[in-house]
C-alpha cells in the first residue's frame, strides 16, 4: 500500500515535498539545495509484507550551481519505515566528484495530505505535457534518413566519462541515449538535473529571453536594463547596457570586490 506521505526528517521536509522545492541542507562541508523528484513504489515477495520505494534527488551547490544526482530508497508499511539508503552517482563537474553513499534513520508519521486531489491532478497535467521520449535506436526505425545523417554520440562507444546525457528532439519527440552514471544507467532519466557555473545561468537567462521574445518580439534584446531595474550603482555605466549585452556576458561594467570574491561585482 502507498501511504499518504513519508516525512523524511533528515531532509527537514513536510507536505511541500510534493512541490519539489529546493531544500537547503548542510552537505559535504557546505550548503546545498536538495531537489526531490517523483519516484516509484513496488512490492517484492521477499519483503515480508513491506513495500519498497525509491526516488531521485539532486544536490545543487551554491554559488556555482553544480548538480549532483542521486537515488534514495527505503522499505515501509502502514505503521513503520526503514532507514533511508542513498547514493550519489553523477555530477556535472568531474573535477569535484562526490562518490557518496550512506544510510540515515527515518521516522514515519502518517497524516493526510492537504489538497491531495489537486496535487495529483497537477502532476497528471505535468506528465501529459512531457514530450514523448524514445531510445536512440528508435531514431533509425522512425526517421532512417535523418538517422543516417547524424553521427553517433561518442559516449555510446565507450567514452562515457565526460557526457552524462545526450539526444535529439525531432518533431516534438525526444530520442535519447541512456543517462549515464558511475555504476550503470540512471533509472530516472527524466528527473536528472544538470547545472554547472555559467552554463546554468546562461541557459536559464537564454530560455527566459527567448520566451519574452516569442511573446513581445525580438526587440526585447535591445531594451535597456536600467529602464526596468532600479540600479543603485554610483556611476552611469549601466545606462546603455541592454538585456542582450547581459545575456552575452558583455555588459562592460563591473569590478571585482577587494575580498577577491567571484560574487563581488557592481
Percent of the chain with pLDDT over 90: 32
Residue 92 has what pLDDT?
A: 78
Indicate the pLDDT class of residue 182, thresholds 50, 70 and 90. confident
Q: What is the mean pLDDT of residues 18-32?
A: 57
CA atoms of 231 and 133, how far apart (whole Å): 44
| Predicted TM-score of the model (pTM) | 0.70
Percent of the chain with pLDDT over 70: 78
Backbone angles phi and psi of 117, in degrees to 5: -65, -40
User: Cα torsion for 9, 10, 13, 19, to the nearest 10°?
Assistant: -140
* 73 touches 208 (CB < 8 A): no
Q: What is the mean pLDDT of residues 103-111?
A: 88
Q: Which three cell numbers stand for residue 126?
A: 505535468
User: Cα torsion for 198, 203, 39, 125, to the nearest 10°?
Assistant: 160
Residue 83 has what pLDDT?
A: 94
* 153 touches 168 (CB < 8 A): no
| 25 pLDDT more than 90 | no
Residue 3 has what pLDDT?
A: 32
Amino acid at each position: 500500500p502507498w501511504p499518504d506521505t513519508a516525512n523524511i526528517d533528515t531532509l527537514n521536509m513536510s507536505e511541500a515535498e510534493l512541490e519539489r522545492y529546493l531544500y537547503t541542507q548542510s552537505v559535504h562541508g557546505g550548503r546545498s539545495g536538495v531537489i526531490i523528484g517523483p519516484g516509484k513504489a513496488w512490492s517484492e515477495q521477499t519483503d515480508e509484507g513491506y513495500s519498497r520505494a525509491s526516488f531521485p534527488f539532486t544536490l545543487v551547490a551554491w554559488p556555482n550551481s553544480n548538480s549532483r544526482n542521486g537515488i534514495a530508497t527505503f522499505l515501509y508499511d502502514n505503521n513503520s519505515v526503514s532507514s533511508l539508503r542513498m547514493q550519489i552517482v553523477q555530477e556535472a563537474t568531474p573535477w569535484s566528484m562526490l562518490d557518496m553513499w550512506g544510510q540515515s534513520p527515518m521516522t514515519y508519521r502518517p497524516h493526510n495530505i492537504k489538497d491531495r486531489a489537486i496535487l495529483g491532478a497537477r502532476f497528471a497535467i505535468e506528465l501529459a505535457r512531457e514530450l514523448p521520449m524514445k531510445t536512440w535506436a528508435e531514431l533509425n526505425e522512425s526517421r532512417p534518413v535523418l538517422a543516417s545523417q547524424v553521427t553517433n554520440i561518442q559516449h555510446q562507444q565507450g567514452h562515457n566519462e565526460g557526457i552524462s546525457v545526450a539526444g535529439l528532439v525531432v518533431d516534438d519527440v525526444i530520442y535519447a541515449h541512456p543517462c549515464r552514471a558511475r555504476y550503470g544507467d540512471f533509472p530516472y532519466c527524466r528527473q536528472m538535473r544538470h547545472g554547472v557555473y555559467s552554463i546554468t545561468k546562461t541557459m536559464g537567462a537564454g530560455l527566459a529571453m527567448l520566451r519574452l521574445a516569442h511573446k513581445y518580439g525580438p526587440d526585447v534584446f535591445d531594451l535597456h536594463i536600467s529602464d526596468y531595474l532600479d540600479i543603485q550603482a554610483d556611476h552611469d555605466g549601466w545606462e546603455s547596457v541592454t538585456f542582450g549585452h547581459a545575456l552575452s556576458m558583455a555588459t562592460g561594467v563591473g569590478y571585482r570586490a577587494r575580498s577577491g570574491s567571484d560574487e563581488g561585482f557592481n
